[in-house]
Chain A
Amino acid sequence: MVIEVRLYATLRRYRPSIPNGVFTADIPDGISVAELVEKLEIDPAEIHMIMVNGIGREMDGILADGDRIGLFPAVGGG
């Protein structure tokens, strides 16, 4: 199945060839966000917020074809 991945802020450095951090990925059916993160070789400790189709999800959330997954680092400054 094909999904769209959106990397935000510092997570974009995991795909330096894609300046805006938005790309599609062909992944096995029924995998979780955690499994996707592992496939993308992103350190899960850097991921603080997960959005699937604009709605907050957890690492164990199962993905579906056509999903749009946003991965966000922690933001805490003031």
Chain B
Amino acid sequence: MALLAEGKMPERYQRNFGTVGIAGQIRLLKSKVAVVGAGGLGGTVIELLARLGVGQLRIIDGDTFAVHNLNRQLMSTEHNIGVNKAYAAASRVEVINCDVQTEAIPYMLDEENAEELLKGVDVVVDALDNVSTRLLVNRVTKQYGIPLIYAAIAGFTGQVMTIMPGDNGLERIYRQTNANASNQGVETMLGNPAGTPALAASLQVQEVVKVITGIGEPLRNKLLYFDTEMNIFEILTVT
């Protein structure tokens, strides 16, 4: 941070320079991002945010790694099966970037703890795998005026959107969802191959960078939908 204050980019962030500049890098380093879920989406999100130099990461996941996670979840290895995902992700960040402070929360976000876990952060990344917790996160981020970066995946398909304070959010995407509806989508049929969460997570990270630095145009009220089986990338209006 001392070098940045002198207008110089530290070597480890040199390849960020042309895109985010000194001011953007300072903003990233001063930011606190909560990542809810450290599985397929979250693992890649955490890895990339750490490399970018987002200064504080709160990693929330009560699950442990299982063998069937190995096909796609970046933080899982053959050596950490059975280890809590939040702890594993924090350990990974420690060896990537010592500028980044991590806070591993080894339990699931729920009605009881959601406000405590999310309030006070600059951005929340939704890397969850079920609809009901997404809607809970959406409610809390809306209440506290925190930008929410949403993604969901299934098979070759994924969708990403940024929900800024005051925007209609996930209640529009999941408006058909009711108490009797499934808490999951077609991923139960299609599974989640490696490339899909990595692609959606990378798009989420681009959104985080845009929101924190003010660069570019976030996917606000716009759902980026991809279906790479048929080479489809569409921007859909969701208001």
User: Is residue A48 within 8 Å, beta carbon to beta carbon, of the partner chain?
Assistant: yes
User: Is residue A16 within 8 Å, beta carbon to beta carbon, of the partner chain?
Assistant: no
Given contacts A21-B230, A47-B176, contact A77 B40 (CB under 8 A): yes
Near A by CB (< 8 A), chain B positions 114-172 give 126-131, 134, 151-159, 172
User: Is residue A51 within 8 Å, beta carbon to beta carbon, of the partner chain?
Assistant: yes
User: Is residue B5 within 8 Å, beta carbon to beta carbon, of the partner chain?
Assistant: no
Interface range, A side: 20 to 34
Given contacts A8-B157, A48-B176, A56-B172, contact A74 B236 (CB under 8 A): no
Interface range, B side: 35 or more
Judge whether B237 and A76 touch: CB under 8 Å. no
Judge whether A55 and B237 touch: CB under 8 Å. yes
User: Is residue A40 within 8 Å, beta carbon to beta carbon, of the partner chain?
Assistant: no
Residue of A nearest to B36 (CB): A78
Assembled-state Cα–Cα distance A71/B152 (Å): 17
Judge whether A77 and B184 touch: CB under 8 Å. yes
Judge whether A56 and B153 touch: CB under 8 Å. no
Judge whether B129 and A77 touch: CB under 8 Å. yes
A-B contact pairs, 18 of them (CB 8 A): A8-B157, A8-B225, A8-B227, A9-B156, A47-B176, A48-B174, A48-B177, A51-B236, A54-B236, A56-B172, A56-B237, A73-B186, A74-B131, A74-B176, A76-B185, A78-B126, A78-B129, A78-B151
